[in-house]
Amino acid sequence: MKDLVFDLIEREKVRQKEGLELIPSENYVSKEVLEAMGSVLTNKYSEGYPSFDELTAERSLEERILDTELPNYRYYGGQVNIDKIERLAIERAMRLFRADHANVQPHSGANANEAVYYAWCEPGDKILAMNLAHGGHLTHGAPVTRSAHIWKFIPYGVTAEGDIDYDELERLALEEKPKIILVGYSAFMKIPDFERVAKIGQKIGALLMADMAHVAGLIAGGVHPNPLDFGFHVMTTTTHKTLRGPRGGLILSKGKVSSPLRKPEKTLENIPTLIDRSVFPGTQGGPLEHVIAAKAVAFGEALRPEFREYAAKIVENAKTLAAELKERGFILQGGGTENHLILVNVEASFGLNGKVYEKALDKVGLTLNANALPGDKAAAFRPSGVRLGTPAITTRGMGATEMKQIAEWMEKVAKISQKAASEEELDEFAEEFKPIREEVREMALKFPVPSI
Ligand SMILES: *Cc1c(COP(=O)(O)O)cnc(C)c1O
């Protein structure tokens, strides 16, 4: 008898097919990415790294990798194929983001961030990062994390207009002299001024780190600036959000690449090697080579011209959706969006609790998440906002007509939700949600999820 798990996977396929994924950090991977992830590579232990020796030849990267016997720094034998796969992932990631080095082993974005902190900082050192309540990320110093117990995080915020408060960032940098200045966020809809932050960091000799987990696909697709082009030393990212690869992390850096066997001095130039040693053996064990293979496939996809079109369409759709929402009375944080993400102040727009609205949208098959907005009080219980984005629905091929339709459904659901004082009371309006649920399903089925 087949394990129950497979039955549940089938049900999840139906959920994904029949609903619309508006969570801005989610996406649908290609069949090839899925295949690499579900491969026999999971059977292999590969602690260590492939070599970083120059591959000198005029042929394509793929041909050179296949032909070259690579030495390695691994603990176990049998790496002949694994080394080439990991090296391919590294080379493609470097090309995609114009980096001098890539570490493709972090199991997740959280691991990638912690590995960078551990590579550069001593316990107690200061890290300047965006306030979680203003759009930053848990891994940027939330008190519940291990990182916050090891390092001292100093938060900077956003202005009333929703942009980074660069003056505050500069003042804090000069006062506190942090070892790292971190630009990164999970609920922010503007394009950061990397150049300005780099100048501030250079004044105090800080490591400049960007956590681009949300927008990496936009950077890869050429519709968002790349922090590594503006003097940033390190960029971390997840590979599963706009980048549309398997669930995992990635660290890109600028500097001199050398053997991870030698412990280098802690200089900005040595960052790539410090990071490699920090990922393994510093903070992780054996790499997930099946996931690394899927990363290599996804990076290969992102290097193709079609991906540039995809990235541009994500932003175009987000702008259209933002405009359609505004027309229907939704008040947007920052007045709109410059990337893939929209933050709606549903409290100010419709007097709604973000959590109740999230649950109501769930009932019609529109998935997004409640999100606190800067200045929210008792945010965990009554967040004023919801966060949504267009990466996943753009993968399904949706465009302006569908954005308009989604905004219409969101308005209808907001008006029904206004009548409910709590999540439980939403059940009383089941009959009103039903026809909208049917419409959402009908449209969703017209835009297939890749590989399902
Ligand atoms: C999603 C995200 C992460 C964490 O990634 P995980 O893979 O969930 O650990 C880190 N930083 C930012 C900015 C993110 O958006």
Q: Span 338-355, mean pLDDT?
A: 96
| Token pair in block for residue 176 | 């506190």
User: Domain 308-446: which topology?
Assistant: Aspartate Aminotransferase, domain 1 (3.90.1150)
**Contact by Cβ (8 Å): 383, 376:** yes
β-bridge mates for residue 128, sequence order: 154, 181
For the CA of 107, the closest atom of ligand 1 is: 7
Q: Span 24-35, mean pLDDT?
A: 98
User: How far is the first Cα of the chain from the last one, in angstroms, to the nearest whole number?
Assistant: 23
Coil, strand or helix at 343: strand
Spatial distance between the Cα atoms of 119 and 137, rounded to a whole number of angstroms: 20
User: How far apart, in Å, are the Cα atoms of 122 and each of 33, 116, 147, 172, 202?
Assistant: 38, 11, 12, 20, 20
- By the 10 Å C-beta count (0-12 exposed, 13-18 middle, 19+ buried), 155 is classed as middle
Q: Indicate whether residue 207 lines ligand 1 (CB < 6 A).
A: no
Coil, strand or helix at 435: helix
The string of pLDDT tens digits covering residues 144-167 is 999 999 999 999 999 988 999 999
In this prediction, residue 394 carries a pLDDT of: 98
User: Which distant-in-sequence residues (6+ apart) come within 8 Å of 270 by Cβ?
Assistant: 255, 256, 258, 264
In this prediction, residue 421 carries a pLDDT of: 85
The string of pLDDT tens digits covering residues 168-211 is 999 999 999 999 999 999 999 999 999 999 999 999 999 999 99
Cα 54 from chain centroid? 30
The yes-or-no verdict on residue 277 having pLDDT over 70 is yes
Place of tokens 């308005």: 411
The yes-or-no verdict on residue 380 having pLDDT over 90 is no
- By the 10 Å C-beta count (0-12 exposed, 13-18 middle, 19+ buried), 430 is classed as exposed
Q: Span 305-327, mean pLDDT?
A: 98
Q: Indicate whether residue 110 lines ligand 1 (CB < 6 A).
A: yes
Choosing from 186, 224, 387 the residue with most ligand 1 atoms within 8 A of its CB, the one to mutate for a pocket test is 186
Nearest CA, atom 3, ligand 1:
109
pLDDT above 70 covers a percentage of the chain that reads 95
Q: In the chain, where are the structural domains located?
A: 31-302, 308-446
| Token pair in block for residue 138 | 């848990």
Q: Indicate whether residue 295 lines ligand 1 (CB < 6 A).
A: no
- b/e code 31-66 from CB counts within 10 Å (16+ = b): eebbebbeeebeebbbebbbbbeebeeeeebeeebe
The DSSP symbol for 375 reads T
For residue 181, how many other CB atoms are within 10 A of its CB?
27
Ligand 1 centroid–CA 238 distance in Å is 6
As a CATH number, domain 31-302 is 3.40.640.10
Higher pLDDT residue, 267 or 2? 267
Ligand 1 centroid–CA 178 distance in Å is 22
Q: Indicate whether residue 139 lines ligand 1 (CB < 6 A).
A: yes
The string of pLDDT tens digits covering residues 57-100 is 455 666 666 666 667 889 899 999 999 999 999 999 999 999 99
Catalytic residues: 45, 47, 211, 238, 241, 247
Q: Indicate the pairing of strand 126-130 with strand 180-184.
A: parallel
The yes-or-no verdict on residue 414 having pLDDT over 60 is yes
Residue 55 backbone phi and psi in degrees, to 5:
-100, 105
Nearest CA, atom 12, ligand 1:
213
**CA–CA–CA angle 182, 340, 329 (5° rounding):** 115
User: Which distant-in-sequence residues (6+ apart) come within 8 Å of 60 by Cβ?
Assistant: none
Spatial distance between the Cα atoms of 208 and 200, rounded to a whole number of angstroms: 10
Residue 95 backbone phi and psi in degrees, to 5:
-65, -40
How much is the mean pLDDT over the chain?
A: 94
Spatial distance between the Cα atoms of 369 and 87, rounded to a whole number of angstroms: 37
Residue 272 backbone phi and psi in degrees, to 5:
-55, -45
Q: Span 46-50, mean pLDDT?
A: 94
pTM metric for this prediction? 0.95
**Contact by Cβ (8 Å): 390, 317:** yes
**Contact by Cβ (8 Å): 48, 72:** yes
Q: Span 39-44, mean pLDDT?
A: 98
Q: Identify the CA nearest to 289 among candidates 32, 97, 40.
A: 40
Nearest CA, atom 15, ligand 1:
186
pLDDT tier for residue 56 given thresholds of 50, 70 and 90: very low
Ligand 1 centroid–CA 78 distance in Å is 33
Q: Indicate whether residue 50 lines ligand 1 (CB < 6 A).
A: no
The string of pLDDT tens digits covering residues 99-132 is 999 999 999 999 999 999 999 999 999 999 999 9
The DSSP symbol for 333 reads G
In this prediction, residue 57 carries a pLDDT of: 44
In this prediction, residue 376 carries a pLDDT of: 83
Beta-strand (E) ranges in 144-203?
152-156, 180-184
Q: Indicate whether residue 213 lines ligand 1 (CB < 6 A).
A: yes
Nearest CA, atom 10, ligand 1:
109
Ligand 1 centroid–CA 212 distance in Å is 9
Q: Indicate whether residue 392 lines ligand 1 (CB < 6 A).
A: no
3-state DSSP helix/strand/coil percent for the chain, to nearest 5? 50, 15, 35
The DSSP symbol for 282 reads I
The yes-or-no verdict on residue 51 having pLDDT over 90 is no
Q: Quick one: CA torsion of 425, 430, 433, 434, rounded to 10 degrees?
A: 170
Q: Quick one: CA torsion of 243, 399, 22, 343, rounded to 10 degrees?
A: 90
